[in-house]
């Protein structure tokens, strides 16, 4: 059944107004070869209750993170989200709120975004944060473009420890620009990124903890970049790490991008997620995305508005700083509520729990024959090398009810050297029983 409300007469009337002979004329720019019709092989329509039953059967084939031992990370992490968060974000004034262009009727949304920006700025140690971007990967690409605008240079160097998905999104944004240098995967070290900095470099991009779990020396990287007039872009995929690690701003980072999913947002099959971006005050006019500011109204009362909107696409069109002039509002709200519930002390305790469980996991894995832990430093994630190919091993463990991590070869298929590497993560939800089950199953499978 097609849900199109227009009658044949109305369609003919609209075509007449725009001067088109028929519907096909609207697609005249599409090559004929692309207009072939084909059978999608989809089933015929069914009653609603049968469709629901079919969808429930499909959903039953999934294995959720809470169904057993779970050590998957690599950019998306399973944390506890308090029921309060979901309850509050589903209130109608939040769930249906849209673009706050009219401050006189959007004070709640604007204040929430202002508080969110304040939280992100404090977490990252930066002067200012925006009202969020779509996710960490697109935020990284936007940071690269921002660095190019600020320095008027084009060369950008991506660390070999940057998440492969983030690297690929940057490459897509820059359309394989020859001034973009992507270093080879570096599961055991930082590589030679500092040696690649010269007077033509706009920025270097370093993730910490990196894709493989290693903590990176941001102070050395910042000093090396600044000595050549380049910027340091810091990427964080596990924002909970900021509860223990020094804020990137304290080390001299110029732009900080993070994935905020770990706070207030569930795994959700990969999205929607939440991009965080913060920078120095002097760079604010080149920062993409929406900004909310505090002001006073005609009666002198505190109020909130969108600020610096003249940078945005809906006003400057092709001269805008970015084609993003929106934000992940509901995910940002969930983040902000969860952070408010935790508070500074609670956030630090959460980070300590994550690290403590990761230490237990590392010690237990190191005792398993055929397993080598590659990390000397880590927060809640690490890379192990196994005596058997990782992809097949992870599948066998999944069949035993244990989601053992992410085979690096899944995300880096062009690097044979990573075939036996698995990235494993532990959070506050990881139990001693989970760790024991993983290590016992690994020992059996590797015999």
Strands 371-373 and 381-386: antiparallel
Residue 313 pLDDT class (50, 70, 90 cuts): low
Do 332 and 375 fall into the same domain? no
Whether residues 333 and 362 fall in one domain = no
Q: Identify the CATH number of the domain in which residue 100 sits.
A: 3.40.640.10
Mean pLDDT of 421-426: 98
Task: Look at 31 and 407; give whichever has higher pLDDT.
Answer: 407
pTM: 0.89
Residue 130 lies in a domain: yes
pLDDT digits (tens, 9 = 90+) for 363-420: 999 999 999 999 999 999 999 999 999 999 999 999 999 999 999 999 999 889 999 9
Q: pLDDT tens for residues 67-120?
A: 999 999 999 999 999 999 999 999 988 887 777 878 888 899 999 999 999 999
pLDDT at residue 6, rounded to an integer: 86
Task: Give the model's pLDDT for residue 344.
Answer: 96
Examine the fold and report which residue of 339, 367, 400 is the final residue of a domain before the chain moves on.
Answer: 339
pLDDT of residue 310: 65
Q: What is the mean pLDDT of residues 349-363?
A: 98
Per the domain annotation, does 107 fall within a domain? yes
pLDDT at 1: 45
User: Is 369 in the same domain as 299?
Assistant: no
Average pLDDT for 345-363: 98
Judgement on whether residues 171 and 288 belong to the same structural domain of the protein: yes
Question: What is the pLDDT at residue 193?
Answer: 93
Asked whether residue 184 falls in the same domain as residue 232, the answer is yes
Instruction: List pLDDT tens digits, range 206-231.
Output: 999 999 999 999 999 999 999 999 99
Mean per-residue pLDDT, 130-151 = 96
Q: What is the pLDDT, as a whole number, of residue 378? A: 97
Which of 321, 339, 357 corresponds to the end of one domain?
339
Same-domain check for residues 274 and 349: no
276 and 407 together in one domain: no
- % residues pLDDT > 70 (the chain): 97
- Average pLDDT over the chain, rounded to whole? 93
Residue 385: CATH number of its domain = 3.90.1150.10
Assigned domain for 15 exists: no
What is the model's pLDDT at position 244? 97
257 and 162 share one domain: yes
Q: What is the pLDDT of residue 398?
A: 95
Residue 44 has pLDDT above 90, yes or no: no
- Give a yes or no: residue 390 inside a domain: yes
Instruction: Tell me, yes or no, whether 215 and 326 share the same domain.
Output: yes
Listed residue (157, 350, 111) closest to 238, CA to CA = 350
pLDDT score recorded for residue 442: 98
Q: 171 versus 318: which is more confidently predicted?
A: 171
Domain-embedded: residue 3: no
Overall domain count for the chain: 2
Give me the pLDDT at residue 3, please: 64
What pairing do the DSSP bridges indicate for beta strands 255-259 and 371-373?
unpaired
Does residue 183 carry a pLDDT above 90? yes
Residue 271 has pLDDT above 80, yes or no: yes
Do 291 and 431 fall into the same domain? no
Which of 317, 339, 361 terminates a domain? The answer is 339
Beta bridge partners of 236: 258
| Cα distances (Å, whole numbers) of residue 235 to 81, 229, 278 | 23, 20, 11
> Residue 190 pLDDT more than 70?
no
- What's the domain range around 367? 344-446
Q: Within its chain, how far is the Cα of 331 from the centroid?
A: 12
61 in any annotated domain: no
Q: Is residue 30 assigned to a domain? A: no
Tens of pLDDT along 275-285? Answer: 999 999 999 99
Bigger pLDDT: 347 or 29?
A: 347
Contact 292/307 with Cβ under 8 angstroms?
yes
Confidence of residue 318 (pLDDT cuts 50, 70, 90): confident
Specify if 8 maps to a domain.
no
Q: Identify whether residues 377 and 244 lie together within a single domain.
A: no
Predicted local confidence at residue 119, as pLDDT = 98
Instruction: Kindly state whether residues 364 and 227 are assigned to the same domain.
Output: no
Confidence grade of residue 434 (pLDDT, cut at 50, 70, 90): very high
């Amino acid at each position: 059944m097609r849900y199109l409300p227009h009658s044949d007469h109305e369609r003919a009337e609209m075509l007449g107004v725009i001067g088109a002979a028929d519907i096909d004329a609207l697609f005249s720019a599409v090559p004929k070869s692309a207009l072939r019709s084909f059978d999608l092989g989809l089933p015929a329509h069914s009653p609603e209750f049968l469709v629901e039953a079919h969808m429930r059967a499909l959903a039953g084939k999934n294995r959720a993170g809470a169904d057993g031992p779970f050590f998957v990370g690599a950019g998306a992490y399973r944390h506890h989200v308090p029921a309060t968060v979901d309850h509050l974000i589903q209130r109608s004034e939040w769930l249906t709120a849209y673009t706050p262009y009219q401050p006189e009727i959007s004070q709640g949304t604007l204040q929430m975004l202002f508080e969110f920006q304040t939280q992100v700025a404090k977490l990252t140690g930066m002067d200012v944060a925006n009202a969020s971007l779509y996710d960490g990967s697109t935020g990284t690409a936007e940071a690269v473009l921002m660095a190019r605008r600020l320095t008027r240079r084009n060369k950008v160097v991506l660390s070999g420890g940057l998440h492969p998905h983030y690297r690929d999104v940057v490459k897509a944004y820059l359309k394989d620009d020859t001034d973009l240098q992507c270093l080879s995967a570096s599961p055991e070290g930082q590589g030679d990124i500092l040696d690649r900095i010269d007077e033509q470099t706009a920025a270097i991009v370093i993730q910490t903890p990196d894709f493989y779990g290693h903590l990176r020396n941001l102070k050395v990287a910042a000093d090396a970049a600044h000595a050549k007039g380049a910027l340091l872009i810091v990427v964080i995929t596990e924002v909970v790490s900021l509860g223990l690690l020094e804020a990137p701003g304290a080390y001299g980072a110029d732009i900080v991008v993070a994935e905020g999913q770990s706070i207030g947002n569930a795994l959700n099959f990969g999205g929607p997620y939440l991009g965080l971006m913060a920078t120095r005050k002097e760079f604010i006019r080149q920062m993409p995305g929406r900004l909310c500011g505090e002001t006073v109204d005609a009666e002198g009362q505190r109020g909130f508005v969108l600020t610096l909107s003249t940078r945005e696409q809906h006003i400057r069109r092709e001269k805008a700083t970015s084609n993003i002039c929106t934000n992940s509002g509901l995910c940002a709200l969930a983040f902000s509520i969860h952070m408010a519930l935790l508070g500074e002390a609670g956030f630090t305790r959460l980070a300590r729990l994550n690290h403590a469980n990761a230490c237990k996991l590392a010690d237990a894995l190191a005792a398993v024959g055929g397993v080598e832990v590659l990390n000397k430093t880590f927060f809640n994630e690490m890379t192990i090398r196994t005596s058997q190919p990782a992809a097949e091993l992870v599948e066998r463990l999944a069949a035993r009810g244990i989601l053992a991590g992410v085979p690096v070869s899944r995300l880096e298929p062009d690097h044979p050297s990573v075939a036996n590497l698995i990235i494993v993560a532990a959070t506050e939800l990881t139990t001693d029983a989970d760790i024991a089950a993983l290590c016992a199953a690994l020992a059996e499978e590797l015999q």
